[in-house]
Amino acid sequence: MSFGSPFLTLPDFQYHRPQTLDEVIGLLKEHGDEAKIMGGGVGLIAFMKERLMSPTHVIDVKGVSELARIVNTPSGELRIGASVRISQLLEEGVLRGSYTALDEALSKVADPMIRGRATLVGNLCEAIPWVDSPPPLVALGASLQVAGPEGRRMIPVSDFIRGPVDIDLGPAELVTSVDIPRQQGLRSAFEKFTGGSEFSMASVAISVWSEGRKRKARVVYGAVNSTPIRSPDVEQLLGDELSRATVRKAGEVASQKVECMSDVLASAEYRKHLVKVVTMKALGRTV
């Protein structure tokens, strides 16, 4: 990832490699805004090279064993630690079946070299509108476990991203894991359009499941606005019926109702067309 930086080197910083979560929190508390967490380092190193960030302390968390685990919790969630690489999730197949939308999204992130370094938590915490992990995580009802000097707390992914590069983390806090509930009978899909660029111009994650006799859905769009956005209009439509006719209608409703922005990648008008296309393609795999 590059925005045309003239710099070939990184700004000066002190490197830390703690072995426990308490050490990480202690370093964050000691150095405050001058410290940044490094998991895979893909986004952080790029931002530092561009001089968009210049931390004087970089805290590498790969040595903290708690953050490197993939476990199933007693309450039924899949817990993915903050330093788990995207390639590891794909190679071990832990997302297949129950978490199809996230599996599809991560398989399309950048290229194999980046996926071999990048982490799911890092991709999410960048909070860049065009990255791929937030929409499927919201569609799957995922939450984040956050740790800091005051203890631990859980926050839904849907509330975590407040704006571009703006996340709900307090002083000396870090995300320790992503927790995704396992929902019986849930079907999900992810679709995006890039037009050959590095980033998505429009993406959608859709999950559909049943609660008793009632069908439920989450439909979440990425890259079309400053944060991932749900579409209650499309969700209601999918709750009423799920058929080939619904797929076509959902695409039309999404194009009309989903609020899109213009930026250097695409105009709002073009994004509205793309919203229709990606909605129909994703739904076509869930009907």
Q: What is the pLDDT of residues 76-126, one digit of tens each?
A: 999 999 999 999 999 999 999 999 999 999 999 989 999 999 999 999 999
- Quick one: 233 and 208 in the same domain? yes
Rg (CA), the chain: 19
Q: Domain end: 122, 151, 181, which one?
A: 181
Instruction: Name the CA dihedral angle for 280, 164, 61, 151, rounded to a multiple of 10 degrees.
Output: -100
Q: Note the pTM of the prediction, 2 decimals.
A: 0.94
Assign 3-class secondary structure to 188-238. Answer: EEEEEECCCCCCCCEEEEEEEEEECCEEEEEEEEECCCCCCEECHHHHHHH
- Quick one: 121 and 149 in the same domain? yes
Kindly state whether residue 242 falls inside one of the protein's structural domains.
yes
- Quick one: 219 and 172 in the same domain? no
- Quick one: 25 and 112 in the same domain? no
**Cα(263)–Cα(128) distance, integer angstroms:** 13
pLDDT confidence of residue 133: 97
Q: Domain end: 161, 181, 201, which one?
A: 181
- Averaged over successive runs of 10 residues, the pLDDT of the chain (287 residues) comes to 63 97 98 96 92 95 97 96 97 95 95 94 95 97 98 98 95 97 94 89 96 92 97 93 90 97 96 98 89
CB-based burial of residue 61 (10 Å sphere; 0-12 exposed, 13-18 middle, 19+ buried)?
Answer: buried
- Quick one: 95 and 139 in the same domain? yes
pLDDT confidence of residue 1: 47
pLDDT confidence of residue 20: 98
Provide the domain limits for residue 50: 14-60
- Report in angstroms the alpha-carbon separations of 72 from 1, 76, 78, 80, 81: 33, 6, 5, 9, 11
Kindly state whether residue 76 falls inside one of the protein's structural domains.
yes
- Quick one: 173 and 135 in the same domain? yes
Kindly state whether residue 3 falls inside one of the protein's structural domains.
no
Residue type, 218: R
Q: What is the CATH number of the domain that holds 28?
A: 3.30.43.10
Q: Domain end: 156, 181, 206, which one?
A: 181
pLDDT confidence of residue 174: 98
153 is written with which tokens?
A: 């707390």
259 is written with which tokens?
A: 């609020």
The answer to whether 268 touches 256, Cβ cutoff 8 Å, is no
- Quick one: 139 and 231 in the same domain? no
pLDDT confidence of residue 124: 96
Kindly state whether residue 4 falls inside one of the protein's structural domains.
no
Q: What is the CATH number of the domain that holds 168?
A: 3.30.465.10
- Quick one: 74 and 51 in the same domain? no
- Quick one: 234 and 258 in the same domain? yes
- Quick one: 250 and 220 in the same domain? yes
**Cα(33)–Cα(267) distance, integer angstroms:** 35
pLDDT confidence of residue 197: 80
E strands within the chain?
A: 14-16, 35-38, 57-60, 70-72, 77-81, 143-148, 151-156, 161-163, 166-167, 174-181, 187-193, 202-211, 214-222, 229-230
β-bridge mates for residue 80, sequence order: 70, 178
Kindly state whether residue 259 falls inside one of the protein's structural domains.
yes
Kindly state whether residue 5 falls inside one of the protein's structural domains.
no
Number of domains in the chain: 3
CA atoms within 13 A on the CB side of 45: 13
- Quick one: 219 and 249 in the same domain? yes
Kindly state whether residue 82 falls inside one of the protein's structural domains.
yes
